[in-house]
Structure 1
Amino acid sequence: MNHNNKNNHLGRKSGHRKSLLSNMASSLIKEKRIFTTLEKAKVLRKYVEPIITKSKINTTHSKRNIFSYLRDKTAVSELFKDFFEKVRERPGGYTRIIRMGFRLGDQATLSLIELVDFNKIYISKKTVKSVRRSRKRIKKSES
């Protein structure tokens, strides 16, 4: 029976899985988007979103807690920089998973996982409504 087994263990032992997720999370924070399989992306989303939520509190204690998950100084310092401010204002849902296709060798589903606020395509800009110009017929007066 499969009761109480919510986590996908990715076919790895716990130490390998923890190091895999910490490396993927730190590269996601540094690069803002990474390509991986769909299963790894789903597990990474559950791993990295609480870390980003913890980065909203800018204290030494939260930095040390995040470092215990990521084990990468540059990724931790990246989380607390000013251009991550728009992420801190978001109430949740920091990542987006987009399915890209299938890998040639084993037909595994490839996907793109990215941070939502750093994609310039999907960020909605205010659309300028164009003024409709119509030509009016000028009636010639009968003289």
Structure 2
Amino acid sequence: MPGTRKLGRATDSRTAMLRAMVTFLLENGKIETTVTRAKEVRSMAEKMITIAKEDTLHNRRMVMAFITKEAVANKLFTEIAPQYKERNGGYTRIAKIGPRRGDAAEMAIIELMPVETAAPAAEAAPAESK
């Protein structure tokens, strides 16, 4: 994990926290955390989704080396990654939700982007002209 922020933790603790947060994000679809942590989780989650877009044994082993639950890794390969087959990056979004009550740390929600369908684009085409 070169180039990650320190997040006030030792290397092993930081790695364990990021692995757990990425696993939880892929399992549940969204998490609430600080903005700084959300930016780090986004980086790692997008890398995992990009790797999982091609289902090979090597890619499965790379994902399993980072994701802490085998069921979540299988979900990543069978459900999540195929949804983003046509998309090059931008699988997650971060929405700021204001300061935390106790220490006023800036909080954010990081979530997986919804998959766009072609139907809404077709409905928007017929526009009235005046």
| Shift in Å, 1:103 | 0.6
1:125 is aligned, of 99, 120, 123, to: 120
Q: 1:18, 1:32 → 2: CA distance?
A: 20
1:9-50 superposed Cα distances (whole Å, 9 cap, x missing partner):
100001111110111001111111111110100111111111
Q: 1:8, 1:15 → 2: CA distance?
A: 13
Aligned to 2:40: 43
Q: Which amino acid aligns with 2:75?
A: E
Q: Mark the structure with the bigger radius of gyration.
A: 1
Residues 49 and 81, structure 2, Cα contact 8 Å, conserved in 1? no
Residues 86 and 117, structure 1, Cα contact 8 Å, conserved in 2? no
Aligned to 1:94: 91
Poorly superposed stretches of 4+, deviation over 6 Å: none
Q: Which amino acid aligns with 1:51?
A: M
Q: Give identity over the alignment, percent.
A: 30
Change (3 A) 1:117 1:83: same
TM-score, length-scaled by structure 2: 0.85
Q: Which amino acid aligns with 1:125?
A: P
Number of equivalent positions? 127
Aligned to 2:63: 66
| Shift in Å, 1:118 | 5.2
Consecutive unaligned residues of structure 1, counting only runs of 5 or more, are: 133-143
Residues 23-38 of structure 1 aligned to structure 2 (within 5 Å): 23-38=20-35
TM-score, length-scaled by structure 1: 0.78
| Shift in Å, 1:6 | 4.8
